[in-house]
Amino acid sequence: MATLAVAISLAVMIITVSVGKAFNENIRNKMFGFWGHIQLTNIASVPGVDERPLLKDSIFKADVSQEKWFQRYNTYALKPAIIKTKDAINGIVVKGVSDDFSWEAFEEYVIEGQVPAEKNEVLISKTIADRLDFKVGDKLRLFFIQKPPRARAPVISGIYNTNLVELDEQIVFTDISHIQKLNGWSENEVSGVEIFVDIPERSRYYADIVRNDYTDYQKLVQSLDETNPQIFDWLGIIKTPEYVILGLMTLVAIVNMASMLLVIILERTNMIGVLKAIGAPYSLIRNVFLHKAAYIILWGLLLGNLLGIGLAWIQQRFEVISLDPESYYLSVVPIHIHLPTILLLNLATILVILLALLLPSLMIKRVNPVQALRFK
| Per-domain boundaries in the chain | 2-26+235-374, 44-216
Is the predicted pLDDT of residue 226 greater than 80, yes or no?
yes
Helices 239-267 and 229-237 cross at an angle (nearest 10°) of 10
For 162-203, what is each residue's pLDDT tens digit? 999 889 999 999 999 999 999 999 999 999 999 999 999 999
Is the predicted pLDDT of residue 210 greater than 70, yes or no?
yes
Cα distances (angstroms) measured from residue 275 to each of 295, 357, 368 = 21, 20, 11
Report phi then psi at 364, rounded to 5.
-60, -35
d(CA 77, CA 119): 14
d(CA 376, CA 373): 5
Coil, helix or strand at residue 295: helix
50 DSSP assignment: B
Is the predicted pLDDT of residue 373 greater than 60, yes or no?
no
What mean pLDDT is predicted for residues 72-90? Answer: 92
Q: What is the pLDDT of residue 237?
A: 85
Q: What is the pLDDT of residue 274?
A: 80
Q: What is the pLDDT of residue 79?
A: 93
Q: What is the pLDDT of residue 49?
A: 67
For 297-322, what is each residue's pLDDT tens digit? 999 999 999 999 999 999 999 999 99
